[in-house]
Amino acid sequence: MTEPASNVHEYSVSELARSLKRTVEETYGHVRVRGELGRVIIAKSGHVYLDMKDESAVIDAVMWKGLASNLSFRPEEGLEVIVEGRLSTYPGRSKYQLIIEKMEPAGAGALMALLEARKKALAAEGLFAPERKRPIPFLPRVIGVVTSPTGAVIRDILHRLEDRFPVHVLLWPVLVQGEQAAGQIAAAIEGFNALEPGGRVPVPDVLIVARGGGSVEDLWAFNEEIVVRAAAASRIPLISAVGHETDTTLIYFASDRRAPTPTGAAEIAVPVRRELAERASALGARLTRSLTRLVDRKGADLRSAARALPRPDALLGEARQRLDYAAGQLDSALRLRLERGRGRLDALGGRLRPAALTRDIADRNRRLASLAARLAPAEKRARTARERTLQALAARLNSVSHEGVLARGFALVTNAEGKLVRAAAALKDGDAVTLEFKDAKRGAVIGGGAPPPPKSAPRKAKPKPKPPAAGQGSLF
């Protein structure tokens, strides 16, 4: 028996899924939802898959890579947010999901906005620049810790340091939460940096600023500008260990190294002593084995080279023969050399006899007398030529002297001061002058009148020329 036909339209599974998708997207094309983030997964592709929930419901959501990369904060589980987007379905799993296009913090929205603005301002000053980061010392002798003295953080750090490599630890107790916490933390960092080397309190080689986990409000002291600037200005390398691995505060960007937890900061600060000892022992053993192998190899090389060398007798035998031959020839060579030297000495001695020397001296005297006789006429001619030249020069000198001019009828005119008068314009009527002639001086007055008595000065007698030296005429 067949059932009667129905007028209800039959959908295929795909048709129904697409119809639902269109209906949902058209009805909820733009929605604004407030809720708490649950599961947050950042895929390798960069897309963010998360759950939004409240006390009674959960909605799957996704934010594509292009939009997620522009977020000013990191989505974290437990953070209350406000999102905008559209609702859609995923036909392959018969699930609906929220496609997020915009996300912002809800409960701590103003706080997060302030944090982001402060981060940008400090980054613009270069406080977070990578080139400011300093390396952490490999094996510090003193570690300074800035944290609460009563919490579990300092115990975890001390316990971890004791396990790995016990060192001297200086604790600067501070509040890590509340209004006064930021000032105390900054003062502790500056205080450690103000310690003088060689003082009573040693200067730490590295600093650890630590606190346990908490909410954004609980960790806010480590976002304060005074703390960030103190961390950036620290001359001592600084490790920040604030909150859990997912917590991010501004001191993280200003510190030289970030640790995920306070225990992790202790692990970064010091190596494991046991591992260092084992490594040193292993390196020492390797060095010993290497030296042993090197010595063995060099010994084998030396023995191989020694086998290739000839015997000492073979190397020295030929040299010994040459030495014996040379020694045999030495006596005869010395006698021959001595005889030749004696012959040359006899020849030279014959040339040095007194009679031969007398003849040689007489011969040289005769040659010297001949040269003197030939030189006398030449010397006489040179003397005569020098005297004639001197006489000619004296005549020329006398012709240009003022005595020669006066002898030709001229006179010198001088004024009352005895200065030479060169032009008539230098005199006026009534001026007294002196006229010097060849044989005497006379006074006169320009324009007539009796001349004043002349101021005569004794004339210096001319020195007589010295007779020329014998054998050479004088030029003067």
CATH number of the CATH domain containing 143: 3.40.50.2300
Neighbour order of strands in the sheet with 238-242: 168-173, 142-147, 206-211, 238-242, 257-258
Q: Does residue 114 contact residue 139 with C-beta atoms inside 8 Å? A: no
> Does one domain contain both 122 and 194?
yes
> Does one domain contain both 251 and 162?
yes
Angle between helices 262-269 and 152-164 (to 10 degrees): 30
Position 90 in a domain: yes
Position 30 in a domain: yes
Report the C-alpha gap between 11 and 390 in whole angstroms.
155
Position 414 in a domain: yes
Position 321 in a domain: no
**What's the pLDDT score for residue 392?**
87
The parent domain of residue 211 ranges over: 115-274
> Does one domain contain both 153 and 239?
yes
Distances from the Cα of 168 to the Cα of 145, 158, 203, 206, angstroms: 11, 10, 11, 11
> Does one domain contain both 177 and 57?
no
Q: Does residue 78 contact residue 37 with C-beta atoms inside 8 Å? A: yes
What are the DSSP calls for 63-84, one per residue?
E-HHHHTT-SS---TT-EEEEE
What are the DSSP calls for 367-431, one per residue?
HHHHHHHHHHHHHHHHHHHHHHHHHHHHHHHHHHSHHHHHHTT--EEE-TTSPBP--GGG--TT-
**What's the pLDDT score for residue 474?**
40
> Does one domain contain both 124 and 99?
no
Last residue of a domain, one of 51, 85, 107: 107
Report the C-alpha gap between 83 and 303 in whole angstroms.
85
Ranges assigned E (strand) in 138-297: 142-147, 168-173, 206-211, 238-242, 257-258
Position 364 in a domain: yes
User: How many domains, in total, are found in the chain?
Assistant: 4
Position 223 in a domain: yes
> Does one domain contain both 91 and 136?
no
Lookup: tokens for 348? 């030279």
**What's the pLDDT score for residue 5?**
56
Rounded to the nearest 10 degrees, how much is the dihedral formed by the CA atoms of 158, 159, 164, 167? 30
> Does one domain contain both 196 and 62?
no
**What is the dihedral sign for C-alpha 375, 380, 386, 388?**
negative
* 41: CATH: 2.40.50.140
* Nearest by Cα to 229 from 135, 116, 128, 145: 128
Report the C-alpha gap between 198 and 284 in whole angstroms.
35
Report the C-alpha gap between 181 and 140 in whole angstroms.
27
Report the C-alpha gap between 250 and 128 in whole angstroms.
9
Last residue of a domain, one of 223, 250, 274: 274
pLDDT per residue of the chain (476 residues) written in tens, 0 to 9: 555 556 777 888 888 888 888 888 888 888 999 888 888 888 888 899 999 888 788 899 999 988 888 776 667 777 778 899 988 887 777 788 899 999 887 765 556 777 888 899 999 999 999 999 999 999 999 999 999 999 899 999 999 999 999 999 999 999 998 878 999 999 999 999 999 998 999 999 999 999 988 877 788 899 999 999 999 999 999 999 998 877 789 999 999 999 999 999 999 999 988 888 888 889 999 999 999 999 999 988 888 887 777 777 777 777 888 888 888 888 888 888 888 888 888 777 776 677 777 888 888 888 888 888 888 888 888 888 888 999 888 888 877 777 777 777 778 888 888 888 888 888 888 888 888 887 888 888 888 765 556 555 555 555 555 554 444 444 33
Residue 50's Cβ-side half-sphere holds a number of Cα atoms within 13 Å equal to: 26
> Does one domain contain both 101 and 183?
no
Position 426 in a domain: yes
Which run of H or E residues covers position 269? helix 262-269
**What's the pLDDT score for residue 207?**
96
State in Å, rounded, how far the first CA of the chain is from the last one. 177
Q: Does residue 242 contact residue 134 with C-beta atoms inside 8 Å? A: no
> Does one domain contain both 128 and 261?
yes
Report the C-alpha gap between 154 and 145 in whole angstroms.
8
> Does one domain contain both 158 and 202?
yes
* Nearest by Cα to 432 from 455, 460, 402: 455
Which run of H or E residues covers position 444? strand 441-445
> Does one domain contain both 197 and 237?
yes
Position 328 in a domain: no
> Does one domain contain both 165 and 185?
yes
Last residue of a domain, one of 398, 428, 462: 398
Whether the predicted model's global pTM rises above the 0.85 cut: no
